[in-house]
Amino acid sequence: MVILDKYSSIFIANWKLNGNSSFLKDYYEKLKLNSNNCTIICSPSIYLKSLKGNNEYLFCGAQDVSSYKEGAYTGELSASMLKDNNIDFCLVGHSERRQYFAETNDNVNLKSSNLIEENIIPVICIGETLEQKENNLTEEILSTQIKNSIPNEATYQNTLIAYEPVWAIGTGLTPTLDEISQVHELIKNFDTKFKSFKVLYGGSVKSSNSKEINELSHVDGCLIGGASLKVDEFNTIIS
Ligand code: 13P
């Protein structure tokens, strides 16, 4: 398992349903890693094998995993298959999966548990919708997501948490720095066990705001969607 404590910050590129072979080749030629940070590229799964991860600073991540371990489940990829292909990280419970693929906290819990068993680090995504935020439900929603989607065996060494307010994803909107700080502190204070967990922020991170977000005391890195598809922009973010 990757030793997370070795890195001062963690940056994850979530390419979502984007990219192709020539995009990938060009991206890798131009990618400039920063040796203080852990950089993880989450490509669509068919390209995972062509990603040049597993050097000391660059790793591959999947965007999802099956909750089943094996059997007659057409189209699925198991945690052990990811491990077999040198994948060290996997996003779980991204809001797009919760929204479009009806993923529940229970699914996220089981998937994360299967990943931990295979020594793959789940990046468990949580976050409130705009409606929930406007109704002052952020704390309640995050608390439920944390209680139900993080498995008992999760520790700060084998699991990452990503706070992604749903309303900030792909919209260009972000919470204020104070709000990000407060929510990250809240997450780390839900239970003494979460105090040492690394918590990443995601939602409209770009080169113009990544530095100030990443410098916040309870932020341990960023999960980047749209801006990670432009390699120059991503280079600036991780530099
Ligand atoms: P954007 O950076 O495009 O807002 O997406 C964030 C995200 O969903 C990363 O997982």
Q: Does the C-beta of 51 come closer than 6 Å to ligand 1?
A: no
C-alpha closest to that of 80 among 92, 68, 91: 68
Count of structural domains within the chain: 1
With a CB cutoff of 8 Å and minimum separation 6, the contacts of 123 are 12, 61, 89, 90, 91, 92, 160, 161, 162, 200, 223
How many angstroms does the Cα of residue 174 sit away from the middle of ligand 1? 11
Note down the domain range covering 45: 4-238
How many angstroms does the Cα of residue 164 sit away from the middle of ligand 1? 8
**Is residue 64 within 8 Å of residue 81, measured between CB atoms?**
no
pTM of the predicted structure, to 2 decimals:
0.97
**Mean pLDDT, residues 85-111 taken together:** 97
**Mean pLDDT, residues 124-139 taken together:** 97
pLDDT at 181: 97
Q: What is the CATH number of the domain that holds 187?
A: 3.20.20.70
Which atom of ligand 1 is nearest to 125's Cα? 10
How many angstroms does the Cα of residue 168 sit away from the middle of ligand 1? 8
**Mean pLDDT, residues 97-113 taken together:** 97
Which atom of ligand 1 is nearest to 171's Cα? 4
Q: Is the pLDDT of residue 53 over 70?
A: no
